[in-house]
Chain A
Amino acid sequence: MLRTILRNGLLASAAVVLAVSAYAIDIENLEYPRLNDLKTPDIEEVTLDNGIRLYIIEDESLPVLNVSVRINAGSYLEPADKVGLASITGQVMRTGGTEKWTGDEIDEALEQIGGTVETSIGQLSGNAFINILSDYTDLGLEVLAEVLRRPVFDEDKIDLAKVGARSGISRRNDNATGIASREFSQVIYGDESVYARNAEYATIDAITRDDLIAFHQQWVQPEGLQMAIWGNVKKRDIVRKIEEYFGDWERGGVTIPAPPEVNYEFERKAWVVDKTDVTQANIRIGHIGGLMTDEDYADRIVMNNVLGGGFASRMFNIIRSKEGLAYGTFASYTANLTHPGVFIAYTDTKSESAGKAVDKMMEVIETMKTEPPTDEEMQFAKDGYLNSFVFNFDSKSEILNRMMSFDHHGLPRDFLQQTKQKVEQVTPEDVVAAAKRNLTTDKMHLLVVGKTADFDMPVSEMGFGPATEIDITIPTAEEQRELVISPENLQRGQEIIERAAETHGGTDGFVAIESISRTGTLALQTPNGPFPVALKSWQVFPNKSRSEISAMGATFVDITNDGIGWKTDQATMQVVAKSEDDLANDRLSERRNLIAIFKSLAADELTAVYDGSGTFSGADVDFVALVDETEEAYVRLAVAQETGQVMGKTFISTDPSQGGAVREEYLEIRDVNGVKIASKTARYLNGDMVAEITLEEVTVNGPIGDEMFSQPQ
């Protein structure tokens, strides 16, 4: 036989084809030995008096200790105006140190031995874990107990976490896939839903250390913890040690509310995000999904496998293999334990085939309701699930984490086995029925992210009705604030501004200032570094001002005089009369001047509204919005809670040449005639530093001739 020849190695390569046909493999008729029994690991369960539940597996194969803690707290518990609080709390519990050690000391100690202890809080639950060589079991447990029980939330590490959060926001539109998954969630759950909302600059700014302390205090409590332990430990030893580190932690006694329900109304709608720097369209189609406890959960598992999971699925076969339209494509009707998942069909395709891909995707989805799975499809869909079932039990971490989640949600321990039995019973008719019941194909959302100019058809013509363009521009903190003008906020605003005036030397001192002249340096921030220019200014209150900026032999002048004014045009270098827009902006600038503000306060002409607290220039501050006659805020002052000092101000500038969100931070304060004014200011426009202004000489009530404010020759 050829097989023998092959074995004897006498075969010449020319004979390969012949040889193969004679010794073809026969995959359908392979006989497998019996699968070794699954040795379900022996799990010891202990509940401490304070409610902490332990799940322990002894495993001596590696000299390692692993601990995974499920914390019953999530971002769904944080207030809508402080989105990001749970995540930052979870992070700074560990990085911000504890009563015993700073975060940096914990970093040093753990990294010196290659150990890890980390904490985090996600949408529905938090997690803490240890991975450490088992010789350091005590160290690992003590650090874990410290960070869970006694975090001090060091300010500097809160700032670090906020820098990270803000940077994450600033980068969130860099990647089309990130945009698509974020916006799809918002389309399905609604943009204010706890299951879809995003942190914004304003919500990050609003978070204070007190918020972190309160969040931890309220929600991280021993009766909300489940702790899985596996590795090179002895059950009795480890229980004793955990008693030692956690046993005297008293119950919090707070009932933690369940995650909220979802109200969903089916509708057919198209959404588009135009992103010009990509060559692919990122397409998502779908609607709300279901729960794992739904009656037809097992039917949907089979439905998902036929439709969109894996190599055998209809989506993969049609979209990727047959049409070559995509590298990535799938579809799934997902289910959660707490709230409905989503139905999502997804494809990444070149811009030029976006419309075609949408068509094909809908065609494939529709087949689920009309074409019952063939025997072959059923076999693939079921066998795949059943034959791979053992992989649900091949890692201790998976077994224990799943058990904690099932216990928490009150699912039976054998939920997976029950589901497996149901999957075995699913028929093609069940799959079609599940598809008809669950896939509302005429009321789905379509979201496309990509370079619309290159699409083969406008998104509005893809069969989902007129497309709504989603504006993904990242709102500045300033734009996002909503001012509440209530009697309480008016009173509190007034108190804060009065205290600020005291701190700055009292209103009398400001009233005494009739004019002020200054010289200094304006350091413009350019891509090549700071570019310093000389600055001079004169101001006669309330409405006369002149500034001169000199650089490289040229002088730019800017004059305002009671409703008229002139300035050097940057293009022609000629002095021209100011436009209406310029003058309107000047009037606002006059009102935003700190000296003018305190003068108005003295004259009782100021309306100050408390506008929340946060951090500014590294200090905890109260914000005070000053509002005009139409109740519009024209400037917000940041007043340090501790000292009452004004740390800076923010406003939306309508300056025709440099409009946008402006933030001015007062870096240095100087005493002038008994009052404190800023002598060094950093100015930011839309988040980027544009200039730093440093004053040298300041003269109050000096002689300033009227000709300074008349039209220059």
Chain B
Amino acid sequence: MRRTPVSAALTLVASLCVAASSVAAFDMSKLTDQVYDTTLANGLKVIVMERRDAPVATFVTWANVGSVDDPKEYTGMAHMFEHMAFKGTETIGSSDIEAELKLIAYEDSIYMELRQERTKGRLADSARIAELEAAFNEARDAAYELVVPNEFGNIVDREGGVGLNAFTSADATAYFFSLPSNKAELWMAMESERFLTPVLREMYQERDVVAEERRMRTESNPIGRVVEEFLALAFKAHPYGIPIVGHMSDIMNYSRTGAMAFYEKYYAPSNLSVVAVGDVDHDDIFALASKYWDRIPYRPAPARMSTVEPEQLGERRMVIEDPSQPIYIAGWHVPEITHPDRPAIDAMLDYLGSGRTSLLYKNLVKEKKLAVDVGAFGGFPGDKYPGLAAVYAIPSQGQTNSECEEQILVEVERLRNELVSAEALEGIKARAKASFINNFNSNQGIALQLGGYQQLWGDWRELFGELDRINAVTAEDIQRVTNKYFTEKNRVVVMSETSQS
């Protein structure tokens, strides 16, 4: 039944060689020719890709603001504002906007007094707090009376919008949904309105929702707990060390005033890009963008956050006692995405930890069965600033974090000492190409990529330079960056170990 592995491998390899050259000839211009862009007078970037498959389109607003921009005492504010951007505008979400704005102003004035008193901690006057809380609750309920709940989302739903959502990362905030493609104007109208006259109604109810989100994603989730500690350990100066969702005490002290100040500073049109991908005409989109987004006056874009993480003086390591099963994660500080070493680092991480033929999977999962899952990824938690290249392992039942770590370090050491083979390098590049091409199969996927590259590189065209950068990587580059960055001194390790109950 079994034939020799060598001969079988040969048949496979033989069938591979036939076609390799024609894929290399894939004509990128087929894709780039469908992308158009313009910049409005207020600095807003507009990017369009025409894809005529089905009469639908995805629209994205990409804001160059992430949790790294959170003000002190307001950790998680970028994320909180993202939630608030669904609460409507002066024209969407109110039954009587003038009266509502007055009630909101009153609600805020009491809240700021209450916040002031609460933050005195042990010296706070509890009677005063109780009095203010009662007044605040009344003011909050009064303001809510005039709210048309979820009107923004309702309109999108009603008009056939799907996938209405947003995310906040360390680097960026993105808002998106898809519509039947004849309704591009609806998107332009609503989306520009939401960043022209946002009304942060239901601020304090939504704050509780965000607190629940933190409980769900971080506090009640073993992996969430590990990741929060991992980032805190890795970054002592740079805000990559602060959780995107924010610390609970900051969440509970958010104010609308703080959120509006954040909006004023970061949601300047010059700090945003909008992207439309689908069955649309770029001239129509540019005209609609101008019609609606030109209403927002120019404001200068905020300065880039400038704190630099100092060089690490030695390995940082932490063990969490947790009731759940063990989890291992290690990271090494690496530069931002635009740094010339990043393509080699990403190639190295692919070979180390992506797929069933990666060094880590072969060693830890297939051969030693130490882990059920293992992987490597770069740019964590972000790519805009120097971040981490990370490796994780989920030990198999009865196996330990330290056994996994030992083998992970063996494989990293291998890459420090040995050049990757020509065949392995070819595989890395072929995977990059296939994954690049497959990323062009959905409107939303493309739109988010264009927005991301526009932000991080200042030009969406860099998306199409991705393969050139990977293709230029040599085996020597991979060895060099492994020796440069993947050192013990530059390493951060967090393990969660099962506590004995």
> Chain A residues in contact with chain B, CB under 8 A?
6-7, 9, 11-13, 16-17, 19-21, 23-25, 27, 30, 32-39, 61-64, 95, 99-102, 104-109, 111-115, 131-133, 135-136, 138-139, 142, 152, 159-160, 163-164, 166-171, 174-177, 276-280, 310-312, 316-317, 320-328, 348-350, 379-380, 383-384, 386-391, 393-395, 684, 687-689
Contacts and interface: CB of A to CB of B under 8 A. Distances in A.
Contact of B441 (A62, A95, A112): A62
Interface string B169-200: 00000000010111101100110110011000
A16 B295 CA distance: 9
B216 A395 contact: no
Contacts of A171: 324-325, 394
Given A111-B355, A171-B325, A174-B324, A104 B157 contact: no
B16 interface: yes
B302 interface: no
Contacts of B205: 321-324
Nearest to A20: B197
Given A27-B92, A317-B149, A380-B157, 9 more contacts: A9-B297, A20-B90, A32-B183, A111-B427, A136-B16, A279-B215, A327-B209, A327-B210, A390-B55
B257 interface: no
A167 B372 CA distance: 7
B442 A101 contact: no
Contacts of A280: 212, 215-216, 219-220
A113 B430 contact: yes
B438 A64 contact: yes
Residue in B19, B196, B440 whose Cβ sees the most chain A Cβ within 10 Å: B19
Contact of B396 (A64, A167, A320, A689): A167
- Which one of A112, A160, A349 has the highest number of Cβ atoms from chain B below 10 Å of its Cβ? A112
Interface stretch (B3-11, B130-138, B380-388): B3-11
Contacts of A163: 369, 372, 396-397
With a 10 A CB-CB cut-off, give which of B56, B90, B202 has the most chain A CB atoms: B56
Closest 8 CB pairs of A and B: A387-B160, A114-B434, A311-B153, A324-B208, A135-B19, A174-B324, A278-B220, A324-B205
A177 B442 CA distance: 30
B35 interface: no
Interface in B354-413: 355-357, 365-366, 369, 372, 394-398
Interface of B: 1-3, 5, 8-9, 11-13, 15-16, 19-20, 22-23, 26, 41, 53-56, 86, 90-92, 144, 149-150, 152-162, 164, 178, 180-183, 185-186, 189-190, 192-193, 196-197, 202, 204-213, 215-216, 219-222, 279, 292, 294-295, 297-299, 322-325, 355-357, 365-366, 369, 372, 394-398, 423, 426-427, 430-435, 437-438, 440-443
A352 B213 CA distance: 15
B26 A63 contact: yes
Contact of A20 (B1, B295, B395, B398): B295
A25 B292 contact: yes
Contacts of A316: 150
A4 to B, nearest CB: 12
Contacts of B298: 9
Contacts of A95: 356
Contacts of A383: 157-160
Contact of B212 (A105, A108, A168, A326): A326
Given A164-B372, A379-B158, A387-B180, A25 B91 contact: yes
A145 to B, nearest CB: 13
B324 A105 contact: no
Contact of A19 (B153, B295, B426): B295
Contacts of A25: 91, 189-190, 192-193, 292
A108 B396 CA distance: 24
A350 B297 contact: no
A62 B28 CA distance: 10
28 contacts: A7-B294, A38-B54, A61-B53, A62-B441, A100-B8, A102-B5, A107-B357, A108-B12, A111-B355, A111-B356, A111-B431, A112-B16, A135-B22, A160-B369, A163-B372, A163-B396, A166-B396, A168-B372, A170-B325, A174-B325, A310-B157, A311-B153, A312-B154, A312-B158, A326-B209, A348-B215, A388-B162, A389-B160
A199 to B, nearest CB: 13
A320 B209 contact: yes
A471 B347 CA distance: 47
B173 to A, nearest CB: 17
Contacts of A152: 1-2
B154 to A, nearest CB: 4
A38 B54 CA distance: 6
B226 to A, nearest CB: 11
Given A35-B180, A384-B158, A166 B397 contact: yes
B88 to A, nearest CB: 11
Nearest to A319: B209
Nearest to B434: A114
Contact of B182 (A36, A164, A176): A36
A327 B372 contact: no
A277 B322 contact: yes
Contacts of B192: 25
A332 B306 CA distance: 48
Question: Which of A152, A176, A310, A316 has most chain B Cβ within 10 Å?
Answer: A310
B153 A310 contact: yes
B498 to A, nearest CB: 10
B252 to A, nearest CB: 12
Nearest to A61: B53
Nearest to B147: A321
A113 B158 contact: no
A35 B182 contact: yes
A233 B108 CA distance: 62
Given A135-B22, A163-B397, A380-B157, A38 B186 contact: no
A112 B150 contact: no
B56 A391 contact: yes
A133 to B, nearest CB: 5
B294 A6 contact: yes
A674 B222 CA distance: 54
Given A113-B430, A324-B208, A387-B158, A136 B19 contact: yes
Nearest to B424: A112
Given A174-B222, A348-B216, A393-B54, A9 B41 contact: yes
